C-alpha cells in the first residue's frame, strides 16, 4: 500500500485534536446527569455520524456490508464492545482526573497495548520493527512516545501533589485521584481493543475498495461495525444508570436549556467520531507500518489534551517547574510523531 506518511501524520494530528476536544462541549451541558449527555452524544458518535459519513463516501454501502463475512462482523463488534468499556470509563476518567492527567494515564497504556499487540499476534513483529532500518526508526518513535507520556504523567502527579483539595475541585469538580487512577488503568487497557477491531476489519477495506471506495475512505465501513459494538456496551451501562437515577425525564426537562444541551451533546459526539474518521485517513497513508498509526493517534490526543488542560486552567497554581515538565513531555511527543512519520516514509 502506498501513501504519504507525512500527510498521514497530519491526519493523525487532526484526529488527536478532535479526540482531545470532544469532552469540552460536554462541560457546557446543564441540568443533565452524566449518563444522559453521554448516551445522547454517543448516538451521534456511534450511529448517526459514522453511517452518514460512510454512506456518503462509500459507493453502495449496503452491498459492501452485505458482503462482509459474519465472522468478521462478529469480531469487529466484539472488539467494539470491549472498546466501549474503555470509552465508557474514559469519560469517567475525565470526571475524576481532568483532561490532562486522565488522558496521560489512559492513553499511555492504550498506546503500548494497541501498537505492539497487533504485530505480535500476526507474527511479524521482528520483520516489521527489528529487521529493517525503517522499522527500528518507528520503534524508536514508539519509545519516545512512551517517554513523553511518562513525562506528562509525572507532571500531572506533581501537580496533584502540589495542589490543595480546594484547588483541585475548583478545576475538576469531582476530583478523586485514587478512583480516577484505577478507572484510567482499566480504560487504557480496554480502549486498546479499538486497534484490534480495526485490524480484524482489514478484509472490509478490500471489499469497500472493490466497490469503488477511494483509498482514504475504505476504513469508514469498519468504523460503523466497531462503533456499533461500542454503542451496545455504553447503552447497557447508561440504561442501568438512567433507571437507577430516574433521570430519563431530563431529556424533556423544561428547566434545562434543552436546545443548547442537545446541540452541545451532538457537537461532542461528532468530535468523538471524527477522531477515527481522520485516523482511518492517516492509516491509509502509513504504508506497511499502518499499525504505527495507533501510537501517532495516542500521542496527538495527549498533545492537544494537555493544551486543553492549560486552556481550562487545570494547571493553574502548579509550580513553574511542573509546567515546564509537561511542556517538555509535549515536546518529546511532537518529536516522536515526526520520527514515526520519517520511519514510515523510509519504508
Other C-beta atoms closer than 10 Å to the C-beta of 335 total 16
How many angstroms separate the CA atoms of 159 and 91, rounded?
21
Grid cell at residue 344? 514510515
Spatial neighbors of 315 by CB under 8 A, at least 6 apart, are 100, 159, 309, 322, 323, 326
Q: How confident is the model at residue 291 (pLDDT cuts 50, 70, 90)?
A: low
Using left for φ > 0, alpha for ψ between -120 and 50, and beta otherwise, residue 31 falls in left
Spatial neighbors of 159 by CB under 8 A, at least 6 apart, are 100, 101, 315, 318, 322
Other C-beta atoms closer than 10 Å to the C-beta of 240 total 11
Q: Give CA separation, 50 vs 44, 53, 272, 275, in Å.
A: 8, 5, 11, 11
How many angstroms separate the CA atoms of 316 and 293, rounded?
33
Which pLDDT does position 313 carry in this prediction? 79
Better-predicted residue by pLDDT, 101 or 213: 213
Q: How many residues does the chain have?
A: 347
Q: Which residue has the cell 504504508?
A: 287
- In tens, the pLDDT along 4-35 reads 777 888 898 899 999 889 988 998 999 999 99
- In tens, the pLDDT along 84-107 reads 888 778 777 777 776 666 666 676
Mean pLDDT in residue range 161-181:
68
- In tens, the pLDDT along 253-290 reads 878 899 999 999 999 999 999 998 998 888 888 766 66
* Secondary structure of residue 100 in the 3-state scheme: helix
How many angstroms separate the CA atoms of 259 and 106, rounded?
32
Amino acid at each position: 500500500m502506498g501513501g504519504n506518511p507525512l500527510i498521514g501524520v497530519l491526519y493523525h494530528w487532526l484526529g488527536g485534536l478532535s479526540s482531545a476536544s470532544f469532552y469540552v462541549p460536554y462541560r457546557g451541558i446543564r441540568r443533565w446527569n452524566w449518563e444522559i449527555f453521554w448516551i445522547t452524544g454517543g448516538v451521534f458518535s456511534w450511529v448517526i455520524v459514522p453511517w452518514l459519513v460512510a454512506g456518503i463516501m462509500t459507493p453502495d454501502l449496503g452491498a459492501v456490508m452485505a458482503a462482509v463475512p459474519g465472522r468478521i462482523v462478529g469480531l469487529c463488534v466484539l472488539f467494539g464492545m470491549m472498546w466501549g468499556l474503555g470509552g465508557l470509563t474514559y469519560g469517567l476518567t475525565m470526571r475524576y482526573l481532568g483532561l490532562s492527567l486522565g488522558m496521560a494515564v489512559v492513553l499511555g497504556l492504550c498506546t503500548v497495548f494497541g501498537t505492539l499487540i497487533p504485530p505480535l499476534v500476526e507474527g511479524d513483529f521482528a520483520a516489521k520493527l527489528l529487521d529493517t532500518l525503517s522499522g527500528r526508526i518507528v520503534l524508536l518513535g514508539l519509545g519516545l512516545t512512551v517517554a513523553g507520556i511518562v513525562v506528562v504523567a509525572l507532571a500531572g502527579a506533581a501537580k496533584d501533589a502540589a495542589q490543595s483539595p480546594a484547588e483541585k475541585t475548583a478545576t475538576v469538580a469531582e476530583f478523586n485521584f485514587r478512583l480516577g487512577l484505577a478507572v484510567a488503568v482499566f480504560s487504557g487497557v480496554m480502549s486498546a481493543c479499538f486497534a484490534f477491531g480495526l485490524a480484524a476489519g482489514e478484509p472490509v477495506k478490500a471489499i469497500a475498495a472493490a466497490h469503488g471506495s477511494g483509498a482514504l475512505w475504505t476504513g469508514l465501513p469498519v468504523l460503523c461495525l466497531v462503533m456499533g459494538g461500542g454503542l451496545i456496551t455504553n447503552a447497557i451501562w447508561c440504561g442501568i444508570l438512567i433507571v437507577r437515577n430516574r433521570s430519563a425525564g431530563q431529556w424533556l426537562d423544561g428547566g434545562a436549556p434543552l436546545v443548547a444541551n442537545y446541540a452541545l451533546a451532538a457537537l461532542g459526539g461528532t468530535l468523538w467520531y471524527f477522531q477515527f474518521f481522520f485516523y482511518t485517513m492517516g492509516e491509509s497513508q502509513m504504508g506497511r507500518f499502518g499499525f504505527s498509526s495507533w501510537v501517532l493517534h495516542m500521542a496527538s490526543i495527549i498533545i492537544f489534551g494537555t493544551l486543553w488542560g492549560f486552556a481550562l486552567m487545570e494547571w493553574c497554581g502548579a509550580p513553574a517547574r511542573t509546567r515546564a515538565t509537561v511542556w517538555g513531555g509535549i515536546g518529546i511527543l511532537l518529536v516522536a510523531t515526526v520520527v514515526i512519520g520519517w520511519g514510515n516514509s523510509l519504508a
